[in-house]
Amino acid sequence: MADRDGLIWYDGEMVPWREAKTHVLTHTLHYGMGVFEGVRAYLTDRGPAIFRLGDHTRRLFRSAHILGMTIPYTPDELNAAQVAAVRDNKLTSAYLRPMCFFGAEGMGLRADNLKVHAIVAAWEWGAYLGDESLERGIRVKTSSYSRHHVNVTMCKAKANGNYMNSMMALQEAQGCGCDEALLLDTEGYVAEGSGENFFMVYDGVIYTPELTSALDGITRRTIITLADECGIEVREKRITRDEVYVADEAFFTGTAAEVTPIRELDGRSIGNGSRGSITEKLQTLYFDVVKGRHPKHDEWLTYI
C-alpha cells in the first residue's frame, strides 16, 4: 500500500505517496487516539463526484470534538483537500481516507505538546466485500466480541482505536469461514458489523438498531431517506439475534460495503438465502444516487 505512485495530501501539501511518512513514535500509533473517515467518489456522467463529502467532514470534526482533539484546519480546507486528492491522482472513482492524528512531539498519556496532523489519501477501490457479494449476499457470524459499551469507548466517534474491536470480530468471523461479523452490544442486542450498519426486513417493514453503540453511518442515513421516499417504513428498535434469524431480508450498509445483502447468519439462511427484493430495490437506488443517475439528491454530490 505504501509503495505506489500517487500523491497524498499531508498537512496542507501534496506529497509523493512514498514520502508520506511519519515517525515510529507517532502518538496515535501507540495509543490509537485519532479520527478518520472513509469516503467514496463515483464516476458520474459529469465526471467523478464525492458522495456526501460535507457530511463526512462534519462527522470527522464531531469525532475529533468527542476525543478533545482540535483539528488545525477548517472543514472547507479538508473538503478542498479531498477534492484535490481525487483530482491530482486523476482518479475517476475512489475511496478516500482523511485522518487526523497526534504526532511524535511527545510520548506518554500525559503528553501535552502534541500537534494534530492531517492526511487525505485516495485510491481506486472496488467492492469492499467483492462484486459477487453485492448480488449474492454474504455469510455472517454473530461475534463473541461485544460492540463497545457507551461508557468505555465513544461510539459516535470514528476513532482509530475503536477498530481494534472491529478487527478482532472480523478475524474471528473469517476464521469460522464467514465474510463478516455481527456485533451485539453489551446487553446482547444487535449493534452493527465490523464496519457497517445493520438493517433487516420483516413483513415489509425495515428495522435498524438505535445508534446507542453503533456509528451514525452516512450510508445508513442515505438508506433511511431512500426507503422513506419509496414509502417503505423504517423503524429503529432494539433487535435480537433470533429476530434476525427469522427476518425476511437483512443487509449491511457502509461507505466501503455500500449495500451488501446478508444471506446467512450463524448458519441459518435469512429469508430465501439470497438478496431480498427490498434490499435489491434500495441497493439499486443507492447506486443510482451515488453515480448521479437519480433525479433527486444531486446535493449529495461534490463534482471534481
Residues forming the active site: 158
**Residues 283, 216: Cα–Cα separation, whole Å:** 19
Q: CB within 8 A of 40, min separation 6: which ones?
A: 50, 51, 93, 94, 95, 96, 255, 256, 290
The smaller minimum CB distance to ligand PMP, of residues 28 and 166, is found at: 166
Length of the chain: 304
Least separation, in Å, of the C-beta of 111 and ligand PMP?
27
Up-side HSE of residue 262: CA atoms within 13 Å toward CB?
31
Least separation, in Å, of the C-beta of 11 and ligand PMP?
23
Which positions lie near ligand PMP, rule CB under 6 A? 38, 158, 166, 192, 195-197, 214-215, 217-220, 253-255
Least separation, in Å, of the C-beta of 292 and ligand PMP?
19
Pairing between strand 234-236 and 249-254?
unpaired
The smaller minimum CB distance to ligand PMP, of residues 185 and 192, is found at: 192
Give the DSSP H or E segment for 242. Answer: helix 241-245
Compute the radius of gyration of the chain from its Cα atoms: 19
The smaller minimum CB distance to ligand PMP, of residues 103 and 279, is found at: 279
Least separation, in Å, of the C-beta of 67 and ligand PMP?
16
Do 83 and 70 contact (CB within 8 A), yes or no? no
Least separation, in Å, of the C-beta of 220 and ligand PMP?
6
CA distances from 134 to 47, 61, 116 (A): 24, 31, 37
Do 62 and 53 contact (CB within 8 A), yes or no? no
**Residues 107, 259: Cα–Cα separation, whole Å:** 41
The smaller minimum CB distance to ligand PMP, of residues 27 and 220, is found at: 220
Q: 139: which strand partners?
A: 264
